[in-house]
Chains A and B, each alone.
Chain A
């Protein structure tokens, strides 16, 4: 019976392992939902947990917003956990709006708010590298 020589088997296994790890790495970078289909009334907001040194948020987005008409304003922002300074504060009525930071090495949290005058539902997430 044909047997794969030991070094060749190690090579195949190594290639498979590296490919699997690359795939896993790509899957790990992504997003984390901190508001999942919440019903918002004017002034209502959701705030994410503070990020960690191992995983810094670098973007924030609202999506699946149920109303895009007048008065359905929403706001997203990333807030410096130390100074409280806001960055990437973005408003609009679209069903999906985002903002990504050019520099994000500081500790922060994501904000998502009904900035308008009517009720609607939406979801919000933060992105990380």
Chain B
């Protein structure tokens, strides 16, 4: 009787151990189980990975990578701007990719994702992917940030950001990223972005994102 009890207990302990190990194993395979190593349409994936392609070693970057299941070891930095601003693209371990805008002084990280076989260029005629973030009063923001990527081979030479009564133009980097940060002075009271337009080398509009009024 007593031996039977001990056998049962040992089985229980063994079962709990196996269950725990299975749980840990599932976690590991979820975190690092992806086989995606490139992102279609992103020029930066045609070059070798360099150290500056790594996601910044910040708490928020690690948190975003964990929450979105990013294959951070395959990320590419498309823009390195003043103050360490970056546009980073990283594959999702289970398929797809995310575009992250990192390095704002408040630490906020906006971005967009495509899942499965869809592309981060699923919008704007597949020429550009755009993220527009604002801070403060939605009717009178303190800051608007326009960032994104241009699709490799789409012929985008510049990205124009239209505001009420003015516009700014930024050239994408060789890696295919762009980033424009507009503070209160640059906004001049504008409540938002009127349009984000991709231009070819002659200034012809290829595609654009026009936020609804």
Contact = CB atoms under 8 A, between A and B. Distances in A.
Contacts of B170: none
Interface stretch (B32-40, B75-83, B107-115): B107-115
A100 B135 contact: no
Contacts, number: 147
Nearest to A78: B108
B93 interface: no
B9 interface: yes
Interface string A5-35: 0000100110111011011001000110000
B13 A102 contact: no
Interface residues of B, number: 52
Contact of B63 (A13, A17, A19, A100): A100
B16 A13 contact: yes
A85 B124 CA distance: 30
The 9 A-B residue pairs with the shortest CB-CB distance in the complex, in nearest-first order: A102-B107, A19-B20, A23-B23, A99-B110, A94-B112, A16-B16, A96-B113, A116-B212, A16-B17
Interface of A: 1, 3-4, 9, 12-13, 15-17, 19-20, 22-23, 26, 30-31, 42, 58-59, 63, 68-71, 73, 77, 85-103, 115-117, 127, 129
Given A17-B20, A20-B19, A68-B123, 4 more contacts: A86-B135, A87-B108, A98-B98, A102-B107
